[in-house]
Amino acid sequence: AMDPKRQVKLNDGHFIPVLGFGTYAPPETAKSEAQEVTQFAIEVGFRHIDCAHVYQNEEQVGQAIRSKIADGTVKREDIFYTSKLWLTSLRQELVRPALEKSLKTLQLGYVDLYIIHFPLAVKPGEELYPKDENGKLIADSVDLCHTWEALEKCKDAGLTKSIGVSNFNHKQLERILNKPGLKYKPVCNQVECHPYLNQKKLLDFCKSHDIVLVAYAALGSQRLKEWVNLDLPVLLEDPVLCAIAKKHKQTPALVALRYQIQRGVVVLAKSYNKKRIKENIQVFDFELTPEDMKAIDGINRNIRYYEFLLGINHPEYPFLEEY
Ligand SMILES: NC(=O)c1ccc[n+]([C@@H]2O[C@H](COP(=O)([O-])OP(=O)(O)OC[C@H]3O[C@@H](n4cnc5c(N)ncnc54)[C@H](OP(=O)(O)O)[C@@H]3O)[C@@H](O)[C@H]2O)c1
């Protein structure tokens, strides 16, 4: 259940704020604007910040967090910071060094949550997207259960409070859950989730194992041409979302965020625009009716904006399973 501090309890006893600030931006803005917008997000009330090694802006986001601690706006323990283990570091012996590198870049002593970014191990090295002659990622054969054991050790060492996964399908999650000698369950699975891909089955599966589903692209993604097929419809122009927004005197974006919170999903919202960052925190100021929720459930159409086709040939490519 949601407490007055707008958090939910994870299966390891820690708490996660139900609204998170997404920090991914294209390279032109990721470095130059991340610090300013993250500071602003903290000022207007965001307490959960979602970042990753591969976004290449952990230095700026870490600086933002440290400056809001230094000026007394927040204490470290008020902030929930997520980083992600990149695909070149899924080999067991590379996990802890990767987290230590993020911590050094951030200049923080720990992260709150460290998650496996994708279940797709690729060739280790400095290159973030090592590709073959067909432009597809070069797979590395790694047992995800071994990666998981290394994450468990990072938690025990205090480098991260909680550990989880991202972009895992239910079979991949099951493999971790059924691992002999499992010490900690994943606290979350962070996946694409919005009214056009509402992930009902994966959500039910996660709920049945006390795993929190964290929604990315909850506003329909940034529609960057490198990652998203721009022929797909624009989520925030959906007539049902627009009608519900109008009825509540809110925006379609707020309706899309509120929908997730009311169905027990932790939701991320990326914005690098101050007006919209401030708007998004208003998700706590209104409530959708059961009829609204049902109407939004009805517009699901299995549209995946981030297909990550670079990884389509990888034996662990997650999105061929139904859920
Ligand atoms: N685990 C993964 O593999 C993975 C993958 C993708 C994303 N993520 C995480 O999830 C975060 C969010 O996903 P996302 O980056 O795809 O974006 P998103 O949250 O779906 O947002 C998409 C776009 O909506 C716009 N927007 C924000 N607030 C709005 C509002 N109130 N009204 C109208 N438009 C609004 C933003 O543009 P402006 O900036 O111009 O406001 C943003 O570019 C990422 O930043 C990242 O932290 C994780």
pLDDT at 28: 86
pLDDT exceeding 90 applies to what percent of the chain?
98
Distance from the alpha carbon of residue 21 to the mean position of ligand 1, in angstroms: 9
**Are 200 and 300 spatial neighbours (Cβ–Cβ below 8 Å)?**
yes
The answer, yes or no, to whether residue 292 has pLDDT greater than 80, is yes
The answer, yes or no, to whether residue 151 has pLDDT greater than 50, is yes
pLDDT tens, residue by residue, 109-124: 999 999 999 999 999 9
- Is the pTM higher than 0.85? The answer reads yes
Segments making up each domain of the chain, as ranges: 7-308
**Are 168 and 119 spatial neighbours (Cβ–Cβ below 8 Å)?**
yes
pLDDT tens, residue by residue, 162-202: 999 999 999 999 999 999 999 999 999 999 999 999 999 99
The CATH number for 7-308, chosen from 3.40.630.10, 3.40.50.300, 3.20.20.100, 3.50.30.40, is 3.20.20.100
Q: Is 170 annotated as a binding residue?
A: no
The CA-atom distances, in angstroms, between 266 and each of 103, 135, 269, 309, 323 are 24, 34, 10, 26, 18
> Whose CA is closest to atom 31 on ligand 1?
276
Q: Is 305 an active-site residue?
A: no
| Closest ligand 1 atom number to CA of residue 50 | 47
